[in-house]
Structure formats: C-alpha cells, structure tokens
Amino acid sequence: MTLLRPEALATLARWREVLVAAIVALTALWLFRLGGYILAPLGVVLGLAALGWGVIALRRMRFARAVAAPGLVEVDEGQIGYFGAGLGIGGYVALRDLTEIRLLSLRGALYWRLKQTDGQAILIPVAAAGAGALYDAFATLPGIDMGRLTAALDQHHPAQSLWQRPAASALT
C-alpha cells in the first residue's frame, strides 16, 4: 500500500535525478560547513560536481517526453534504432555514420531527422517510447551543444539544423 497518489509518484520519478543531485549538493554544503583542511575542499569539489550533475539532469529531464507517438527507440552499442510500430518505418543509424541532426515539426508533432554519411535519413518521433535515451547518445557526438539541442525542443520552428559533423581537417 502506498501513501502517495500515482500522479505524485510519476512526478517524483521524473524529477528523481535532479532530487538526488540536490541531496548531494546539500551533503557538500554540510561538509563545507564542517570546515577544516580536508572537509571544506571536499565539500567544494562535491558541490561543483553536484551542480554540474544537476544541470545535466535538468536537461535530460526536459529531453524526455511523455510517450505520445508510436514506435520504440533503442540505443545500443553506438547505434540508434527506431522500430515504427507496424507503420513500415524505422531503421538503424550508427553514431559514427551520423552527419546531421535536425528537428522537424510535421503535422504538429516533433521528429528527430538523423542523416547518415550515405545520405539516408531516419525520422524518429520525439515522443516515441525510449526517445529519452537519445540525449546520452547525442552527447557523445563531437562539437554538439546539448543546451541548444534541449532548448530547440521548446521552440516551434518547422525545421532546425542542430548539429553537423565537423569536417575532417586536412593533414598538412
């Protein structure tokens, strides 16, 4: 028997990583207040780590959406897969073959458009099951601005180019 309503439990589950980062920050503050040559610097380092973790947790939380689109996203071994739930769409793209990420608005729904080196592209609904895992996959790409990527989800543009793979520099 639970004492909390299901809506409250869902809200706590959504905010859990941010809450844990806040608890770590409070622990860091406690260590800093104890003072001394060891605990005060340890509190500062732990506090900075908690602050960084909290920022990433907030971005990750904004990135994950309620499931409102068909299909399933899977990130495994450096590869993104989308299974289109019987719609005849889907496919895979390896992160090393990814050349561009766009965010498209089609018929009121947001889609990630992932383009590969061979020109093929895959559309993944932002609200598909498992799409929150794309945050960590995208974070591994060279030169990506995760703040800009997360902020783009709240803007309503028909199409936004959010990342392109940097050109390989010529060896001289």
Statement to judge: residues 52 and 94 lie in one domain: no
Calpha distance 153→162 (Å, rounded): 11
Residues 65, 131 contacting (CB under 8 angstroms): yes
Task: Per-residue pLDDT tens, the chain, 172 aa: give them.
Answer: 568 888 888 888 889 999 999 999 999 999 999 988 999 999 999 999 999 999 999 988 887 777 778 889 999 988 999 988 666 678 899 999 999 999 999 888 899 999 999 989 999 999 888 888 999 999 999 999 998 998 998 887 889 999 999 876 444 4
Looking at the domain assignment, is residue 122 inside a domain? Answer: yes
CB within 8 A of 20, min separation 6: which ones?
57
Whole domain around residue 100: which residue ranges? 72-164
pTM confidence score: 0.76
Please tell me whether residues 49 and 113 are part of one structural domain.
Answer: no
Is 43 a domain residue? yes
90-94 and 121-125 as β-strands: parallel, antiparallel, unpaired? unpaired
